[in-house]
Amino acid sequence: MIICATIAELKAELARRRGQSPNGLIGLVPTMGYLHEGHASLMRRAADDGAFTVVSVFVNPLQFGPNEDFERYPRDLERDAALAEKNGAALLFAPSVAEMYPAKPLTRVLISEVTTKLCGASRPGHFDGVGTVVSKLFNLVQPGRAYFGMKDAQQVAVIQQMVNDLNIPVEIVPCETVREPDGLAMSSRNVYLNAEQRVQALVLSRTLGDAGKLLTEPGMTASRLVAEATARIRTAPLAEIDYVELLTYPSLHPLDPDLPLAETDAQLILALAVKFGATRLIDNRLFQPTGGGRHVQNNDEIEASPSHSH
């Protein structure tokens, strides 16, 4: 596996190796590092597609607020490189902040509407930073496909909107949320949890699982489902709720709170953000009405809106 720390090295290697995958496909897995099995699954998906797989490791300061964890975000490039190579990455791009932003960037990619809910509401400017760095990575790597985990379903929706609106020639491939054996969604931030917080954080996956059953109850409404989910999370004494929201997906539009969900045709997302101590965790579940019943989806069943140019 090739490791590049500079943009010049990246461009040179890609120019030499662009034709090496059997189908000529370059796949990009953008990450902030401290890789885990969730990231590894994205790499394996790219390898299964026959892609020359590029993994970026970059903790992007533009997507952190002033009181967030940029400085303490976990970093271990040696560990990341070993995991990436083991899971089929052909090239690891690990630039410094100075390499990606040699001067204060005066240009930002701003995506509206889909960024104003959920994490966008509680983390102002976060998705401006995400859109800016992902567009930079797309321009540098010029992948045919880019792979994102559905644990951050809003990020997938935001990136897909950007790709559609700007006619960026990359296919966004949403991939299933990978979970620990006990159900906790894998996250680089899980390392911050102490033993008791780790146990109590399981309330998130349990709540999402319960939601799948609640959806089938006659007369279940959006407001009632959110209230039921909120009550379940509050059974964990250490849980500090940021949001519990039920929205359409991927548009992230609000629902009539009193409309029975059985009368809703849209694909829906139940999204959670909850802090345990100083650690903020997110999780979600998607579901789709099917006739008179309701089908709860694993996130790998979700197809984002297709890009206008693949």
Q: Is 21 annotated as a binding residue?
A: no
What are the beta bridge partners of residue 174? 148
Rounded to the nearest 5 percent, the helix, strand and coil shares of the chain are 40, 20, 40
Q: Is 106 annotated as a binding residue?
A: no
Mean pLDDT of the chain: 91
- Statement: residue 86 has pLDDT above 90: yes
pLDDT at 291: 43
Query: What is the torsion angle, in degrees rounded to the nearest 10, for the CA atoms of residue 265, residue 177, residue 134 and residue 76?
Result: 170
DSSP, res 266: S
Segment 191-216, tens digit of pLDDT: 999 999 999 999 999 999 999 889 88
Return phi, psi of residue 221, to 5°: -115, 170
Under 8 Å CB-to-CB from 241, ≥6 apart: which residues? 230, 233, 234, 272, 273, 274
What are the beta bridge partners of residue 3? 92
Q: Is 79 annotated as a binding residue?
A: no
Q: Hey, what domains does the chain have and what are their CATH numbers?
A: 2-175 (3.40.50.620), 188-298 (3.30.1300.10)
Residues recorded for the chain: 310
**Burial letters 46-83, b for 16+ CB under 10 A, else e:** bbebebbbbbbbbbbebbbeeeeebeebeeeeeebbeb
173 torsion bin: left (phi>0), alpha (psi -120 to 50), beta (else): beta
Strand order from edge to edge, sheet including 91-93: 2-4, 91-93, 52-57, 26-31, 145-149, 171-175
Under 8 Å CB-to-CB from 62, ≥6 apart: which residues? 101, 105, 108, 125, 128, 129, 132, 133
Segment 219-269, tens digit of pLDDT: 999 999 999 999 999 999 999 999 999 999 999 999 999 989 988 888 999
Q: Is 150 annotated as a binding residue?
A: yes
pLDDT at 9: 98
State the pTM of this model.
Answer: 0.91
The residues assigned a catalytic role are 39
